[in-house]
């Protein structure tokens, strides 16, 4: 029976040694991300009935258990996804901060103020060449400002789209890793019953991989008792089942002509179910944020271009014109307002007319004649206009191969245009101030670019065709656009200043919301990390105390063995 003591002590030596191994493993992984502390479950070995007595047989390590809280783990998945979403959105928004200006340089707002201030100064001194040069310079600043905004926002949008590809690659790597880890877990745990003998470290690695995955895309997780795992998108599309992973890929063109995201092999876009994670944040940034800002600056540009051109195209200067060419090409045989015309503002053309004033400069003062050119919506073509103008003495008209209209005065003749009620001149950019239809295509008309005196401030008198040098009626009308509510697209009718300031406000509010959400999710993340650490984290002091406990138990067991050995020596001494 004395040997039983030796066996019991030996079981203790072995158990304490294994428990010490667990402590050592915990201390070794104190800083390992995703590691969950482990404990050795010590239990008495099955007792033995000897002479009617139940005698214990020692101790053994029944299981090595990792300490995790599944509720906290699930909360961390949701939090990780939202934190990454808002962090990506906020970082992306901060990257375009300079586009919207600062108090030191208020960007578009000050460029717009400068543009209208220059028009005001010109209106108050219409005969001053210097003021025209100033209007051209301030207009160029405004054009550059809108062009740069469009270009910078477009670049961020394109870069974000390119980054989506990188995130998809990263997501696919993690999905493969999760599937691989699941296979390894299955192999390690094969034949085990329940929670005993779990592949703790592999499970930690897989949990960490799932947490990393939710930082990229939001997922739903279903665990099975045998170590299996199923991951789905929020829309229910399967991503991983046990050892099989389905990859993400780019699909057909979707919003803003950017490719959608699909599950490889499928054509259904899953963009809508990506409402979290870095990928969701990038889609939000690309489509909802940058997309909206670009739409708004395009609308500002379109309203500015068409409203200014409407006035400028019907205005004149005292020097009159000897030749004018439209800056928009037409299909000469189609009605001017046909939807098949490539002219951006063709739909704005309506039934009306404009007046062509022709000046015979062979006498002083010049003799002027006036001809009304009629336009009927849905009927009149550019060819009809050419014919109508060619019927007027002193001028001729033609179109080039691409459909640009040219009006040319005969020798010793000049001409001017006025009173366009059909919007034809503005739409086809004849005698216009701006060229283009969006923030990206906006430019000064080539006439004005090359000659500031092509800026018109007055109008040809309806009865006498005279344009006075000091006439500022057109300049005053353009100036009045500054604070006038307008809408040439489907947007609400508001002034250009209000459109600009509300764009800055929208950007500011978006950034503030993104920051607030990011901060909230960061605090939540810190809290969840603390909660996880409280349950699963390693406390070195606690482990050292456990180490002392096991060390002492080991020493005591060794003492039992030496004592038992002495007892055996005593027993053997009796025999000698």
For 195, the token pair is 């929670």
Residues 216 and 171 sit within 8 Å (Cβ to Cβ): yes
Query: By C-beta, is 390 or 505 nearer to another protein?
Result: 505
From the CB of 560, what's the least distance to another protein, in Å? 25
Polymer length of the chain: 576
Give the separation between CA 438 and CA 429, rounded to whole angstroms. 14
Query: By C-beta, is 300 or 332 nearer to another protein?
Result: 300
Query: By C-beta, is 196 or 544 nearer to another protein?
Result: 544
Query: By C-beta, is 332 or 553 nearer to another protein?
Result: 553
Of 445, 116, 157, 502, the residue nearest 300 (C-alpha)? 502
Give the separation between CA 517 and CA 519, rounded to whole angstroms. 5
From the CB of 298, what's the least distance to another protein, in Å? 19
Give the separation between CA 458 and CA 127, rounded to whole angstroms. 10
DSSP one-letter code for 269: B
Query: By C-beta, is 4 or 461 nearer to another protein?
Result: 461
Query: By C-beta, is 208 or 318 nearer to another protein?
Result: 318
Q: Is the peptide bond before 216 cis (omega within 30 degrees of 0)?
A: no
Query: By C-beta, is 29 or 295 nearer to another protein?
Result: 29
Residues 433 and 445 sit within 8 Å (Cβ to Cβ): yes
Angle at the Cα of 194 from the Cα atoms of 213 and 72, rounded to 5 degrees: 40
From the CB of 281, what's the least distance to another protein, in Å? 17
From the CB of 492, what's the least distance to another protein, in Å? 17
Residues 490 and 349 sit within 8 Å (Cβ to Cβ): no
Give the separation between CA 332 and CA 351, rounded to whole angstroms. 18
Number of neighbouring beta carbons within 10 Å of residue 250: 17
Residues 96 and 107 sit within 8 Å (Cβ to Cβ): no
From the CB of 111, what's the least distance to another protein, in Å? 12
Alpha carbon distance, N-terminus to C-terminus of the chain = 20
From the CB of 461, what's the least distance to another protein, in Å? 9
For 126, the token pair is 């219409």
For 28, the token pair is 């070794």
Task: Label each residue of 352-412 as H, E or C.
Answer: EEEEEEEEECCCCCCEEEEEEEEECCCCCEHHHHHHHHHCCCCEEEEECCCCCEEEEECCC
Angle at the Cα of 39 from the Cα atoms of 36 and 40, rounded to 5 degrees: 145
From the CB of 530, what's the least distance to another protein, in Å? 6
Query: By C-beta, is 279 or 476 nearer to another protein?
Result: 476
Query: By C-beta, is 186 or 504 nearer to another protein?
Result: 504
Residues 139 and 308 sit within 8 Å (Cβ to Cβ): no
Query: By C-beta, is 204 or 510 nearer to another protein?
Result: 510
From the CB of 19, what's the least distance to another protein, in Å? 18
Give the separation between CA 439 and CA 301, rounded to whole angstroms. 5
From the CB of 113, what's the least distance to another protein, in Å? 5
Query: By C-beta, is 108 or 332 nearer to another protein?
Result: 108
Give the separation between CA 455 and CA 315, rounded to whole angstroms. 9
Residues at the interface with another protein (CB under 8 A): 30-31, 37, 93-94, 97, 100-104, 106, 109-110, 113, 117, 120-121, 123-125, 127, 318, 458, 466, 468-472, 476, 479-480, 482-483, 497, 500-502, 504-512, 515, 526, 529-530, 533-541, 544-545, 548
Give the separation between CA 320 and CA 395, rounded to whole angstroms. 13
From the CB of 474, what's the least distance to another protein, in Å? 12
Give the separation between CA 389 and CA 398, rounded to whole angstroms. 9
From the CB of 252, what's the least distance to another protein, in Å? 35
Query: By C-beta, is 128 or 226 nearer to another protein?
Result: 128
From the CB of 100, what's the least distance to another protein, in Å? 5
Q: Is the peptide bond before 237 cis (omega within 30 degrees of 0)?
A: no
């Amino acid at each position: 029976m004395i040997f039983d003591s030796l066996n019991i002590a030996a079981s203790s030596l072995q158990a304490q040694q294994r428990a010490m191994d667990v402590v050592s493993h915990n201390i070794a992984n104190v800083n390992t991300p995703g590691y969950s502390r482990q404990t050795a479950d010590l239990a008495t070995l099955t007792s033995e009935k000897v002479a009617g007595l139940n005698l214990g047989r020692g101790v053994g390590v029944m299981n090595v258990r990792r300490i995790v809280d599944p509720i906290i783990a699930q909360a961390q998945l949701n939090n990780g996804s939202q934190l990454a979403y808002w962090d990506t959105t906020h970082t992306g928004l901060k990257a375009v901060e300079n586009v919207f200006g600062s108090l030191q340089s208020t960007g578009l707002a000050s460029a717009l103020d400068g543009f209208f201030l220059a028009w005001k100064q010109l209106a108050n001194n219409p005969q001053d060449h210097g003021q025209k040069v100033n209007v051209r310079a301030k207009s160029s600043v405004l054009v550059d400002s809108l062009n740069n905004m469009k270009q910078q926002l477009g670049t961020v949008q394109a870069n974000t789209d390119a980054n989506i590809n990188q995130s998809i690659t990263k997501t696919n790597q993690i999905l493969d890793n999760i599937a691989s880890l699941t296979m390894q877990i299955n192999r390690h745990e094969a034949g085990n019953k329940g929670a005993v003998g779990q592949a703790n470290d592999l499970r930690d690695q897989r949990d960490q991989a799932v947490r990393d995955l939710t930082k990229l895309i939001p997922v739903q997780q279903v665990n099975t008792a045998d170590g299996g795992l199923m991951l789905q998108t929020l829309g229910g599309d399967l991503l991983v089942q046990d050892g099989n992973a389905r990859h993400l890929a780019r699909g057909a063109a979707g919003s803003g002509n950017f490719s959608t995201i699909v599950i490889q092999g499928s054509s259904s876009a899953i963009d809508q179910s990506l409402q979290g994670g870095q990928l969701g944040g990038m889609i939000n940034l690309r489509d909802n944020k940058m997309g909206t800002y670009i739409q708004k600056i395009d609308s500002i540009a379109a309203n500015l271009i068409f409203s200014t051109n409407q006035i400028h195209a019907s205005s004149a200067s005292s020097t009159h014109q000897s030749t004018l060419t439209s800056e928009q090409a037409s299909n000469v045989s189609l009605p001017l307002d046909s939807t098949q015309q490539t002219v951006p503002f063709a739909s704005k053309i309506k039934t009306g007319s404009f007046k062509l004033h022709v000046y015979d400069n062979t006498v002083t003062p010049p003799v002027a004649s006036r001809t009304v050119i009629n336009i009927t919506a849905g009927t009149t073509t550019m060819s009809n206009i050419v014919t109508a103008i060619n019927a007027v003495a002193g001028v001729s008209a033609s179109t080039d191969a691409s459909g640009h209209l040219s009006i040319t005065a005969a020798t010793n003749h000049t001409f001017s245009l006025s009173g366009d009620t059909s919007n034809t001149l503005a739409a086809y950019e004849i005698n216009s101030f701006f060229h283009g239809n969006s923030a990206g295509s906006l430019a000064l008309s080539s006439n004005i670019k090359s000659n500031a005196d092509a800026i018109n401030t007055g109008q040809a008198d309806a009865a006498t065709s005279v344009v006075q040098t000091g006439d500022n009626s057109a300049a005053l009308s353009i100036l009045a656009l500054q604070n006038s509510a307008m809408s040439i697209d489907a947007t609400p009718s508001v002034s250009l200043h209000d459109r600009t300031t509300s764009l800055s406000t929208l950007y500011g509010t978006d950034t503030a919301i993104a920051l607030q959400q990011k901060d909230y999710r960061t605090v939540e993340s810190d809290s969840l990390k603390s909660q996880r650490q409280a349950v699963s984290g390693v406390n070195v002091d606690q482990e050292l105390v456990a180490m002392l406990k096991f060390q002492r138990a080991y020493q005591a067991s060794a003492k039992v063995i030496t004592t038992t050995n002495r007892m055996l020596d005593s027993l053997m001494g009796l025999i000698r």
